[in-house]
Amino acid sequence: MKEVVFDPFSGASGDMIVASLVDLGANKKAVKEAMTSIGDIRVDISRVSKLGIGATKVNVTSADDRGREYTKIIDVIKASGLEDVVMADSLAIFERVADAESKVHETPKDRLRFHEVGAADAIADVIGACAAFHDLGFDKCEIHSTPVRIGGGFVDTSHGRLPVPAPATLEILSNSCLMYEGGPVMQELLTPTGAAILAHFVDECNVFFPQITVERIGYGAGARDLEIPNVLRTVIGETDEMLTSDRIEVLETNVDDVTGEVLGYLIDELMSS
């Protein structure tokens, strides 16, 4: 069975996720076409080095950096002509963001306006991640993640200077299976877009890697240079189904004053329930 492991030891953003999947072998042309389907978007894919680790860098630029209402984002994605599965996942990811923003700001979703997350490059990142995910066939795989490093300190946003993780990011994390921890740097490492993409795709989060035979490794570079390698590592491998573990629960009790006939009747009842 194929398994995919996201290893966000340096956090995650939308462009890092796209880059790591392209580095794993997702079709560059198909991913670019999906990302540029929403309008005036330029996508550049290049090779960079982060503290000696070769990685793929995806840079998305657009003259349109304005925020958008959540309802307008839905319209943009629906009008893009994307494959049905890519469109459905993209809409579901933005719904996660909308649920989080709605709760944080106490505003109905149909009145929400996204700022950074609503910019054209952020929408393209989400679409690109979904397109790459399906191009690699990961919808047929078990998706794991190690704990996400979120950074620390404060981050400047359109709402002002907010603590890391940003409130919307924390809300997204709280409604997912993702585990997370602060550090190792005093900067924002996990963006709301990155959190929403991982929350949507990851089936299980573990402290350690699952027991797999590694087939390919992808590194997606972030924009900044940090004292740690600013890359998202994504691994695809094969697991031996014979080694797959499961959990059973055992219920025990001690009795010393019950006849054999009563116990026999009890066992029959338990086995039939």
pLDDT at residue 181 in the model: 97
Dihedral angle sign, alpha carbons of residues 121, 194, 233, 5: negative
- Residue at token pair 């330029």: 42
pLDDT at residue 93 in the model: 98
DSSP string, 175-228: TSS--EE-BSSSSB-B-HHHHHHHHHH-SEE-SS--S-EEEEEEEEE-SS--SS
pLDDT at residue 7 in the model: 99
Q: Report the helix count and the strand count for the chain, using DSSP H and E.
A: 8, 13
Q: Encode the chain (273 residues) as per-residue pLDDT tens digits.
A: 899 999 999 999 999 999 999 999 999 999 999 999 998 899 999 999 999 999 999 999 988 777 899 999 999 999 999 999 999 999 999 999 999 999 999 999 999 988 777 789 999 999 999 999 999 999 999 999 999 999 999 999 888 899 999 999 999 999 999 999 999 999 999 999 999 999 999 999 999 999 999 999 999 999 999 999 999 999 999 997 655 556 677 777 777 777 777 777 877 887 886
| C-alpha torsion 167→168→171→177, nearest 10 | -120
Q: Tell me the domain boundaries of the chain.
A: 2-247
Q: CA 22, CA 163: separation in Å to the nearest integer? A: 31
Structure tokens at 104: 């944080």
Type and span of the H or E element at 167: helix 167-174
